[in-house]
Structure 1
Amino acid sequence: MFASSPSLDLNLELGFAKKWILRPLRSTRTATRMSISEESVTLEPVKEQDRIGRTGKTRSVTKNDLLVSKSQTSQKDRLPPPLVTALKTSAERNVASFHFPGHNRGHAAPSSLTQLIGLRPFLHDLPELPELDNLFSPEGPILEAQIQAAQLFGSSETWFLVGGTTCGIQAAIMATCLPGEHLVLPRNCHVSAISAIVLSGATPKYIIPEYDCSWDIAGGVNVMQVQKAIKDLEMEGQRPAAVFITCPTYHGICSNLSEICQLCHSLGIPVIVDEAHGAHLGFHPEMPHSALKQGADIVVQSTHKVLCSLTQSSMLHMSGNIVDREQIGRCLQTLQTTSPSYLLLASLDAARAQLGENPETTFNKAMELASEARFLIKEIMGITVLDSPNFAKFPAIDPLRLTIGFSQLGLSGHESDDILDRDHGIISELVGTKSITYAINLGTCRDHIQRLVMGLKELSSWSQRNHAMGMGLDNRRFAPFVDATMILNPRDAFFARKNRVGILESLGKICGELICPYPPGIPVMIPGEIITQSALDYLLDVKSMGAIISGASDPLLSSMVICDV
């Protein structure tokens, strides 16, 4: 049975053997239907005159037509968030519950957790009941919520993700790259892209991004680098199955996706964009354009980062017709849980509705506060702010991502972060060797900006009193992965036999682990690459500064796992 809302065009033809049309039918059991509508639909044969337009020609109404018709509705005609509404209605029913989860709508919720968050989250922690739709075969409130998200973000289709952007990136790469096919991607990609290569069996063709030694930060990639990678593969008789770009980076650095997409599309190559940190882009005139606006084919966004859904919830958007949408669906069904959290799903619907209320002005306050913070912080002695001139080859840096440098104070990012946290209660998003990155969002207030500015001023004064000013920190000559050499495909290395050796003995051997400081989750060592002195030095250095090293089986880094080949 199909569910509908009044806003859906019910004359939506389906590709069945016979010609059918959807007709509204009053539901006799409204409790099991979408709560945004009392109507369900039934299938009836289509009369030939229903299929003939004024031109006299047959016309099938597609899902794209549905998106266009809904996007033209006025703001006052918008319905409440469909999945949020359905979840609320279902939770409010007076029922005898004999289904999962075991806390039974909060009746057996652990007291230690209810004391922390109350009972209401448990009341709404429901399974895939008929009225709540099915994530892998949506035809009710989930479908409607995804359609509304697609309209807002400008995609042809959108999927909700409960496995974070990680599962979306994995699905995107698996859907475009067969085993043995090549994927062009930046070497400073997120660890999820490497795990996707292991899952898909694709062969990576890495691009070394621009690197700023004074900040110890890697930037984006440009169209010339992508073109060179494609030509290098052509010289080997190969062509990439897809190009993968991280934009923006964790620090907000944006690549020129428009140029990259034009190049790739001229060659019939799809472009996948990890836009985990950019779900908000394009929703203010002073923000960089979104990846979809610039022509990307698959875009994966962490809706929970700058937007306001719950942690772990993300969206995958598709545009154009280069990528097989059914293959994306199959990959997502393989990767996502069969027991999705409706709290996460509803939070995606709610975040979309929140942004959709006033998409042109929602970020006005956040942008104003970010500009104010940037201006005030630049006035503080010994404090630097990452701006576009630091990465002049790239079109923009996300104005809501504030990266502060402390090298002139003679302090590392980790030392500065410890002081600001301990003395001022300032919690950052990302700590680097020479900088700290702060994420400004819809919940940021002026009091917090003033608190940050005051903390930085006191840190600068403390540094001057302790004569640390001007000492600086040593600049690295190059990125830790600039001299990386791949011997084995990451998938082959992942499944190869392994040995553990001492850290010094590992030099020159083939790495068997995926090791990266986290955050930002950018691998320094990838399975299949030769272990280099620069990579080891970098890991030991950042560990001594307080960074968390993820993926290393030996947290002390006194030994390393290598491939026994």
Structure 2
Amino acid sequence: MAALLSHLRSGRFAAPIDALHLPAHGRGAGLPVAMRRLLRRRPGSWDLPELPQIGGPLESEGAVAASQRAAAAAVGVSACWYGVNGATGLLQAALLALASPGQAVLMPRNAHRSLIQACALGGLTPLLFDLPFLSDRGHVGALEAAWLERVLAELDRQGQTPAAAVLVHPTYHGYASDPLPLVALLHQRGLPVLVDEAHGAHLQPGVDPALPISSLAAGADLVVHSLHKSAAGLGQTAVLWCQGTQVDPELVQRCLGWLQTTSPSALLLASCDTALHQWQRPRGRRALRRCLDQGRALADRLSDAGVPLLRTPDPLRLIWHTAAAGINGLEADAWLLQRRLIAELPEPGCLTFCLGFARHRGLAGRMLRRWQQLRLALGSSTPLPPFTPPPLPLLGAPEHHLVEAWRGPQRAVPLDDACGAIAAQLICPYPPGIPLVIPGERLDRSRLRWLQEQRQLWPDQITAMVKIVA
């Protein structure tokens, strides 16, 4: 039997006790009823091409086009497109629709690497702005309006004129602020706004007033939702929403044609349809509200029992602050995996669990026992030291052309020997896709010292060598 199929069929992956990771449907338990019925049909019967009756995301007729029109109308936007290669392909196409070759795009340092790749594909210059850093846990915090005003003032000081802007809302961990003033500040400058809201499809209006609002409600021009990260979609499903007058939907459609497959999976397209429809039905919204209440109740019980937690506005993210107990989150993850508790995101200072949309009966008791056992096995009376923020300017751009640095002659050197050189690679530890260094950036002494420090924290993610422009 092939190795992958063997793993998928093994008991370890097929039936873990607590699989608190993405996709958010919780190993199928949270999938919409219609999708579960479809998957019970004869295997392969749903693996269909773009038949005329079905069509595809870029076709004007067929069931997919009708579903996209209905979804856009239900949300109150002008258009939407389903994606079957995750949020990645939709983010890239959206960015290419916002700026032309030779132009610059303002984006935060926690932008996904797919957007850096889109800049390379489109001949764009990323103007990267720094973000607040939470030293006790090593996380990037939420962007606030006052911080963005500082960034825009620095933009003026440097004489930079971007063609568009990108925001991330919420972050992987669930940190979020009100996107309304952020979008307004950017629109005041005439900048169309793309929001990577991959982790925010469940920020539905009218469900829970304590949740942050969606970027769609804040007026963002283009918004991407990952339906397997924050809705009950299968892996690789996503949707791109378009509204307002600053972006031409026909141009978006053309850019999607560059990057989307001409053979989309009918199964994944059906999953896009059912995942979005679930939030539009009263029954689905009630189920979402129950999941949010369940997440808050779980966090309250664990916190009351002494488990150090980090709260974010998203109740579906449960973050153990392992650093507070002197435990490296990567070591905690390896220990818990052997005991069949699977987290989504291990980091040196934390362990993040994604509760998703399945019910978790008895989870609080099981997690409390595991925490107590973990603390006895690996804990310390001394918390881990604070994490060092990256030595980054408030606003910066690559000194070398992004594509030339990435594709041109390069050589690998030890980090200690790279001072003054131009990076020719992305350095991207977990969380997946958040680059610490992008091609074209100059590696100065302070950045290299910081990378060496990060290498001690992430030994499997940051190597001792770095590729530089030859």
Regarding TM over 0.5, the answer is: yes
Query: Which amino acid in structure 2 is aligned with residue 150 of structure 1?
Result: A
Give 1:560's aligned amino acid.
V
With CA pairs under 8 Å and 6+ residues apart, which has the higher RCO, 1 or 2?
Answer: 2
SS of corresponding position for 2:57: coil
In the alignment, which of 333, 348, 360 is matched to residue 417 of structure 1? 333
AA of the residue aligned to 2:318: L
Structure 1 pair 376/204, CA: closer, same or farther in 2 (3 Å)? same
Equivalence map 1:160-239=2 (5 Å): 160-239=82-161
Match of 1:445 among 353, 360, 365: 360
Determine the structure 2 residue equivalent to 1:475.
386
SS at match of 1:473: coil
Q: Which residue of 2 aligns with 1:355?
A: 279
Indicate the SS of the match to 2:436. coil
Q: Go from structure 1 to structure 2 and tell me whether the alpha carbon gap of 1:236 and 1:459 turns closer, same or farther (over 3 Å shift).
A: closer
2:186 corresponding residue in structure 1: 264
* Deviations, residues 56-109 of structure 1 (Å, cap 9, x unaligned): xxxxxxxxxxxxxxxxxxxxxxxxx9x98xx98xxxxxxxxxxxxxxxxxxxxx
RMSD: 2.4
- Identify the residue that residue 51 of structure 1 maps to in structure 2: none
Q: What one-letter code is carried by the residue in structure 2 that aligns with 1:406?
A: T
1:387 maps to which residue? 311
Aligned-partner Cα distance in 2 for 1:481–1:528: 15
Letter in 2 for 1:187: R
Query: Contact between 2:330 and 2:347, CA under 8 Å: does it hold in 1?
Result: yes
Unaligned stretches of 5+ in structure 1? 1-80, 89-116, 389-396, 550-556
Contact 1:204 1:489 in 2 (8 A): no
Query: Sequence identity of aligned pairs in percent?
Result: 33
1:366 aligns with 2:326: no
Alignment of 1:506 onto 2:418 = yes
After TM superposition, give the deviation of residue 477 of structure 1 in Å: 2.8
Of 251, 254, 258, the residue aligned with 1:327 is 251
Answer yes or no: is the 8 Å Cα contact 2:278–2:285 preserved in 1: no
Cα distance in 1 for residues equivalent to 2:103 and 2:224: 21
- 1:266 maps to a residue whose letter is Q
Whether 1:560 aligns to 2:466 is: yes
Deviation at 1:548, TM superposition (A): 4.1
* Alignment: residue pair count: 430
CA contact (8 A) 2:323 2:348 kept: no
Would the aligned equivalents of 1:230 and 1:239 in 2 still touch at CA under 8 Å? no
Distance change in 2, residues 1:480/1:235 (3 Å): closer
Deviations 1:214-244 (A, max 9, x none): 1010112222333333343334444221110
* C-alpha distance 244-529 of structure 1, shift in aligned 2 (>3 A): same
Are positions 1:489 and 2:395 aligned together? no
What's the CA shift string for 1:177-229, capped at 9, x where partnerless?
A: 11222211111211111111111222122111100111010112222333333
Match of 1:293 in 2: 217
Query: AA paired with 1:435?
Result: C
Is the contact between residue 178 and residue 213 of structure 2 (CA under 8 Å) also seen in structure 1?
no
Q: Distance in 2 between matches of 1:335 and 1:130?
A: 22
Match of 1:123 in 2: 45
1:252-287 Cα distance to aligned partner (Å, 9 max, x none)? 011331001111222221111000000001252232
Q: Distance in 2 between matches of 1:255 and 1:496?
A: 40
Q: CA deviation at 1:517?
A: 1.0
Could you say if the C-alpha distance between residues 280 and 445 of structure 1 is closer, same or farther in structure 2, counting changes exceeding 3 Å?
A: same
Alignment match of 2:60 (pick from 133, 138, 156): 138
- 2:253 is matched by which residue type in structure 1? G
User: After the TM superposition, which of the residue ranges 508-517 and 349-358 deviates more from structure 2?
Assistant: 349-358
Q: For residues 302 and 480 of structure 1, do their structure 2 counterparts lie closer, same or farther at Cα, with a shift above 3 Å needed?
A: farther
Partner Cα separation in structure 1 for residue 423 and residue 41 of structure 2? 48
Report the residue type matching 2:281 in the other structure: E
The 1:196/1:350 distance shift into structure 2, 3 A limit, reads same
CA distance 1:450–1:154, change in 2 (3 Å): farther
More moved, 472-481 vs 189-198: 472-481
Q: TM-score when scaled to structure 1? A: 0.72
The aligned residue for residue 340 of structure 1 is: 264
Q: Report which stretch shifted further, 401-410 or 446-455.
A: 446-455
Letter in 2 for 1:434: G
2:80–2:242 contact (8 Å) kept in structure 1: yes
- Assess, with a 3 A threshold, how the Cα gap between structure 1 residues 507 and 486 changes in structure 2: closer, same or farther: same
TM-score by length of 2: 0.85
Secondary structure, aligned partner of 1:310: coil
Tell me which moved more, 223-232 or 206-215: 223-232
Counterpart of 1:109? Answer: none
The aligned counterpart of 1:104 is none
For residues 118 and 148 of structure 1, the distance between their equivalents in structure 2, rounded to whole angstroms, comes to 26
Q: Which has the larger radius of gyration?
A: 1
Q: 1:370 corresponds to which letter in structure 2? A: G
Aligned residue identity for 2:467: V
Q: CA 1:481–1:311 in 2, change beyond 3 Å: closer, same or farther?
A: farther
Q: Distance in 1 between the 2:203 and 2:448 partners?
A: 39
Deviations 1:346-389 (A, max 9, x none): 110111222222254231221121111111221344x321125x
For the residue of structure 1 that corresponds to 2:170, the secondary structure is coil
CA displacement at 1:440 relative to structure 2: 1.6
**Cα distance, 1:502 vs structure 2:** 2.8
String of CA shifts for 1:275-307, please: whole Å, max 9, x gaps: 000000125223211110111111001011121
